[in-house]
Structure 1
Amino acid sequence: MRLFVAVNPPARATQDLADAAAPLRELPGADRLRWSDPAGWHLTLAFLGEVAVSEVPALERELARVAAEHRSHPLRLAGGGTFGERVLWAGVEGDVRALRRLADAVQQALGVADEDHGFHPHLTLARAGATRGRKAGGAGGLRAMATALDAFRGAEWEAGRIQLMRSETGYGPARYTVVEGWPLQR
């Protein structure tokens, strides 16, 4: 199974962002991007990649332990940015320190820390392939889309749960399903 660990924003928060991002799809080059489905929007804490089914129970025990050691915290989806010419994302505000500590704890517990890139809390809105990005206006086109999100501040919500997620790819957009979830302390 292809797995990752995430915090999933509530429907209210994703609807706020979907409403704010809808006009971006009308901007020049937006039709050349692969837009992510709001139903699958999440904040990735750790990407695990392919994992044998037999390893899942051990992962679940570690994630339950991490969740029991961390408190829920307020977040909101806000603003936007890009990763070069390839990714358009929405940012996160609120108790981002708590979210970073949670991501660090998950990564350490599961042995998947990414020292090269570090944890950058974001929600991916759209992706471009190497040539698609240039055709979509390159970094300038994506930056214009990100700039259009500068004033966006969604409703505040409580990040109160981590979830082990399964990613299924193939034809069409990726599909995400919850394998298991654990509440954070209140």
Structure 2
Amino acid sequence: MFVALVPPPDVLTEVRDAVTPLRRDWPELAWVDPANWHITLAFLGEVPDRAQAELRVRLARAAGHHEPMPLALGKAGAFLKSGRAITLWLSLRAPARLARLAGSVAAGARRAGAGETDERPYRAHFTLARARKAVELSPLVEALGGFDSTPWEADSVQLFESHLGPPLRYEPVEAYPLGRRG
């Protein structure tokens, strides 16, 4: 399971329009299916059944402590491992409070006993593709260097369950609105 933000359909269409011509020229990459595009806030792994109810309560509470926020996707970058690019992503033009939201969500999940939350510092990104073997991604990073999506207001976070397939599929379980309602 994981907790994520999902950009609105018009922003996802902008990404699809920018990425589709590149996908044809880079078949050696494992491109993320557009149906699975998201911005991960916290990876939870396997969540024990006994922790499910408490997890939902704590995620709702964590989301409620953070106001909706303006976000936009920006230029591309790549994560490196052992000196080679392994992941192509788009950056987020996001307020610092996105990292605080991710921290709150992860802390709530830990308190609920929800498996394996990632302890590394949060790095907001929108994954486009992964490399199966050594490949030079700098031409793709350059090609998407001017990408700039339409801004949107993130107003909820979602809990997802992963179905490993093939094909890999992410199923939304529940959404939690940002900010206090009422």
Unaligned runs of 5+ in 1: none
Structure 2 equivalent of residue 42 of structure 1: 38
1:71 aligns with 2:70: no
1:107 aligns with 2:106: yes
Tell me which of 47, 53, 64 is aligned to 2:49.
53
Q: Deviation string for 1:36-60 (max 9, x for gaps)?
A: 1112110000000011233211100
8 Å contact 2:44–2:118 — kept in the other structure?
no
8 Å contact 1:62–1:109 — kept in the other structure?
yes
1:144 aligns with 2:131: no
Distance in 2 (CA, whole Å) between partners of 1:100 and 1:94 is: 9
**Which stretches of structure 1, 4 residues or longer, exceed 3 Å deviation after superposition?**
112-115
Q: Which amino acid aligns with 2:16?
A: A
Q: Which amino acid aligns with 2:106?
A: Q
- TM-score of the two chains, using structure 1 as the length reference: 0.86
Unaligned runs of 5+ in 2: 111-115
Structure 2 equivalent of residue 14 of structure 1: 12
Match of 1:77, SS? Answer: strand
Distance in 2 (CA, whole Å) between partners of 1:73 and 1:99 is: 8
Q: Which amino acid aligns with 1:122?
A: H
Aligned length: 171
Distance in 1 (CA, whole Å) between partners of 2:71 and 2:129 is: 21
Structure 1 equivalent of residue 174 of structure 2: 180
- TM-score of the two chains, using structure 2 as the length reference: 0.88
Higher helix share: 1
Q: % of aligned pairs identical?
A: 40
